[in-house]
Amino acid sequence: MHDLFWFVADSLRYDHLGAITSAILGWKGVRFERAFAVATTSDPNFAALLTGLMPWESGILSQADWDAPPPAAPTVFEELKAQGWATAALGFPNASGFYRAGVDRYEEVYIEGESYDALKLIAGTPSPRAILIRAAECHAPYYGGSYYQACQAIDHVFHACLRLFDPDKTVAIFQSDHGEGLGEHGVMEHSGLPWECLIHVPLIMSWPGCPAGYTSYELVSHVSVHNAIRSLSLGAPSDSSLLKAAHGRPSGLEVTRVGGVASYEGHIMRYYALRGPRWKRMWEWNDTGGKSWFFDLWNDPGELTDLLRVAEDYSEPPPAGLRSAYSEDEAREIEDKLHAVGYLD
Ligand SMILES: [Zn+2]
């Protein structure tokens, strides 16, 4: 049995990795350049990481209450604990119950604080140990007073933690739950529409025998991470999209899906997005109606040109718009998902 060291830097953007990359790549890890969140806020993303359920499956579509019903699946920590791992987590105070499920020792880290308590938690947990660190530095208000300084702090904490593990006996994961807006599309912090700055996340993973130093450009998601942990640690069937991608094969994901409920500019809205390697379709529904967008990310990575506004062919609202942009089977599956979360009657 190996250790699991799972470090989730809350709100860390994919493009602010700094020296972290070289630290874990020094462990000969695999870097995933196209990893995506499933929502724009923390709880739906952590629910997906811990249970493998998408927001419309877990029922956690936005920030959940402490006493919200748990997702209808065990967390990976419950599964690891049952198999003999010592489990510990460092997380936010008042976190929803599912964060603590299966966790022997839960310590709180305050948003204003720093995550050096992680060192004590790791050192005090016997192997085989499964440890989740939800680091708070990059979550507003930013540690040190700016996003840049917060990222530097994450870098230091992560390096210090990594030294407490043996690369030959550890599955190590470095990622974020979602990104952070620094002004793009008028977004500051994280909530609202699934713009790239909020859903594109850093992901680096290292495990004994992983393809050393490989960079994958295949689409993977939080559910992929969950499945990979179950394959590597619990011996679950290794059909993980992430493990396929790490070995240079197609991940099998043609689109990643994002959906949830958020408050945005004073109203509650539902959002959904399909993000393929090139095309991205995004929807919003609120009490005054709905809106959708369509982007060509190969030619417009900044999501500046909405093709729905320039190409008549794409101007139909869903579900008719879906039928024009996707195959019938694909559109039907998407419609089912939209229906499940109340987007379509
Ligand atoms: Zn978060």
Burial class (CB in 10 A: 0-12, 13-18, 19+), 25: middle
Using the mean position of ligand 1's atoms as its centre, give its distance from the Cα of residue 323 in Å.
Answer: 34
Q: How far is CA 86 from the centre of its chain?
A: 24
CA distance 295 to 194: 12
Cα 44 to ligand 1 centroid, rounded to whole Å? 9
Give the C-alpha distances (Å, rounded to integers) separating 124 from 86, 107, 134, 210: 10, 12, 17, 27
Alpha carbon of 93 to ligand 1 centroid (Å): 13
Residues, CB within 5 angstroms of ligand 1 (ion):
10, 42, 177
CA of 108 to the centre of ligand 1 (A): 15
| Cα 128 from Cα 134, distance rounded (Å) | 20
Cα 315 to ligand 1 centre (Å): 33
Determine the average pLDDT of the residues in 332-343: 61
pLDDT one-digit tens code per residue, 225-247: 999 999 999 988 767 899 999 99
**Whether pLDDT at 112 is above 70:** no
Distance 206 CA to ligand 1 centre (A): 23
- Helix or strand (DSSP H, E) at 124: none
Closest CA to 1 of 101, 99, 63, 84: 84
> Mean pLDDT, the chain, as a whole number?
86
183 CA distance to ligand 1 middle (Å): 17
Integer Cα distance of 239 and 224 in angstroms: 10
pLDDT band (50, 70, 90) for residue 113 = low
In this prediction the pTM is 0.89
Of the given ranges (169-183, 196-210, 261-275, 331-345), which has the lowest mean pLDDT?
331-345
The residue with tokens 């990795």 is: 17
Evaluate whether 273 touches 203 at the Cβ level (below 8 Å). no
C-alpha span between 282 and 226 (Å, rounded): 25
Cα 340 to Cα 35, 177, 181, 345: the distances in Å are: 24, 23, 28, 9
- pLDDT score for 64: 74
